[in-house]
């Protein structure tokens, strides 16, 4: 019991060949019932567990998928990781995880060393040469990059923004400040462009303040907003964290939300509905996104080949506007609250 048992030990104990043991374990119906029984007993007696490296080498597959995300600690990803892992585990795949910003060479290796046989990529900012260099099934989730030759999956960000703008318009707002995300981030760009376009279409004024999705960026934007002579009555933040930072800073500065300014976030992270005020935001179905991406990559991995006949190039999930308490009807200019 000291050293791990190998298949050979099981075979010896059961009085059969290793081939039979292998078959008894992976396709039980191809061996006789008596033999199967003997093998199973020997397995139990030896405590045998398969050596994955040996099997992976021979079968040229790893039964494992890799998740790559730009920042593992981002609250947004938690539910997605959990959902992917759950789906994967259900079909017997293990999950590797890595920050996608670990350096070109390390990154290339990850997709190339045979340890994973599929990748879920949550980062649209990787050099396309690296991504397209991986010879592995790949799905893009949430973020994307048109230069990657891989299907993608996520919500319709423009539609989402539309929901938010319509909501604000309905409350009488005519002037929106958008706190954007990083200029090189697809999501940020998409949301910003969507906002500008939709606002224009509704005859609203829209200004953009740069940010980077973080609470600190939101807080900074709040200071900027507070210093404006002509303060927009509504703010649309490119992420919930940013919105929380914005509100927090506003309140500290003595403003009331939504009395003085209505704030809309994006993502619907877990805290959104417990925040004070509860945050009006765009709900992204993160668990569903994770599940769908996992299901897709599993299909690609288990499927015949990287043919790509396993689904549409773009799978769109429905975003939802969740109206809570951080937005309200626009107040008359200069009127005190209460």
Partner DNA sequence: GCAGCGCATGAAATCGATTACATCTGAGTC
Partner DNA sequence: GACTCAGATGTAATCGATTTCATGCGCTGC
Residues in contact with its own copies by the rule CB under 8 A: 4, 49-54, 56-57, 62, 64, 71-75, 77-79, 81-82, 85-86, 89, 94-99, 102, 106, 108-110, 112-115, 135, 215, 219, 244-245, 247-248, 251, 270-271, 274-276, 278
Calpha distance 263→246 (Å, rounded): 8
215 binds, among its own copies, DNA, none (CB under 5 to 8 A by kind): its own copies
Which of 28, 47, 57, 128 lies at the binding interface for DNA (CB under 7 A)?
57
Nearer to its own copies, 204 or 298 (CB): 298
Pairing of strands 320-322, 94-99: unpaired
Which of 28, 41, 47, 50 lies at the binding interface for DNA (CB under 7 A)?
50
Calpha distance 316→289 (Å, rounded): 9
Cα distances (Å, whole numbers) of residue 165 to 181, 210, 234, 330 = 17, 19, 10, 14
Nearer to its own copies, 12 or 94 (CB): 94
Are the CB atoms for 266 and 237 separated by under 8 Å?
yes
Calpha distance 31→25 (Å, rounded): 10
Q: What is the closest distance, in whole angstroms, from the C-beta atom of residue 27 to DNA in the complex?
A: 8
List % helix, strand, coil for the chain (3-state, nearest 5).
45, 15, 40
145 binds, among its own copies, DNA, none (CB under 5 to 8 A by kind): none
Q: Does 23 bind DNA (CB under 7 A)?
A: yes
95 binds, among its own copies, DNA, none (CB under 5 to 8 A by kind): its own copies
Q: Does 109 bind DNA (CB under 7 A)?
A: no
Is the Cα torsion angle 301, 305, 309, 314 positive or negative in sign? positive
- Residues in touch with DNA (CB under 7 A): 4, 6-8, 15-23, 25-26, 30-32, 34-36, 48, 50-51, 54-55, 57-60
């Amino acid at each position: 019991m000291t050293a791990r048992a190998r298949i050979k030990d099981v075979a010896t104990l059961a009085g059969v060949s290793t081939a039979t043991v292998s078959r008894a374990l992976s396709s039980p119906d191809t061996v006789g019932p008596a033999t199967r029984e003997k093998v199973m007993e020997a397995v139990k007696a030896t405590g045998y567990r398969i050596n994955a490296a040996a099997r992976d080498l021979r079968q040229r597959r790893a039964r494992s998928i890799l998740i790559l995300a730009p920042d593992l600690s981002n609250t947004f990803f938690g539910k997605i990781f959990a959902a992917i892992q759950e789906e994967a585990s259900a079909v017997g795949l293990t999950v590797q995880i890595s920050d996608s910003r670990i350096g070109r060479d390390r990154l290339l290796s990850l997709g190339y060393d045979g340890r994973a046989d599929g990748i879920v990529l949550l980062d649209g900012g990787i050099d396309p040469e690296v991504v397209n260099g991986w010879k592995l099934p790949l799905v893009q989730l949430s973020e994307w990059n048109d230069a990657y030759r891989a299907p993608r999956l996520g919500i319709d960000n423009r539609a989402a923004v539309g929901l938010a703008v319509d909501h604000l318009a309905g409350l009488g707002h005519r002037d929106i400040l958008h706190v954007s995300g990083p200029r090189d981030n697809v999501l940020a760009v998409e949301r910003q462009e969507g906002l500008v376009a939709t606002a224009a279409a509704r005859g609203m004024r829209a200004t953009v303040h740069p940010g980077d999705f973080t609470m600190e960026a939101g807080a900074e934007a709040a200071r900027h907003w507070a210093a404006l002579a002509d303060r927009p009555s509504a703010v649309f933040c490119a992420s919930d964290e940013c919105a929380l930072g914005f509100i927090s800073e506003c309140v500290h500065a003595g403003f009331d939300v939504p009395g003085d300014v209505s704030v809309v976030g994006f993502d619907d992270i877990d805290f959104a509905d417990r925040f004070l005020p509860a945050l009006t935001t765009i709900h992204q179905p993160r668990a569903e996104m994770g599940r769908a991406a996992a299901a897709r990559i599993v299909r690609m991995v288990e499927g015949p080949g990287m043919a790509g006949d396993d689904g549409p190039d773009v799978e769109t999930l429905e975003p939802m506007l969740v109206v809570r308490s951080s937005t309200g009807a626009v107040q008359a200019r200069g009127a005190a609250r209460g």
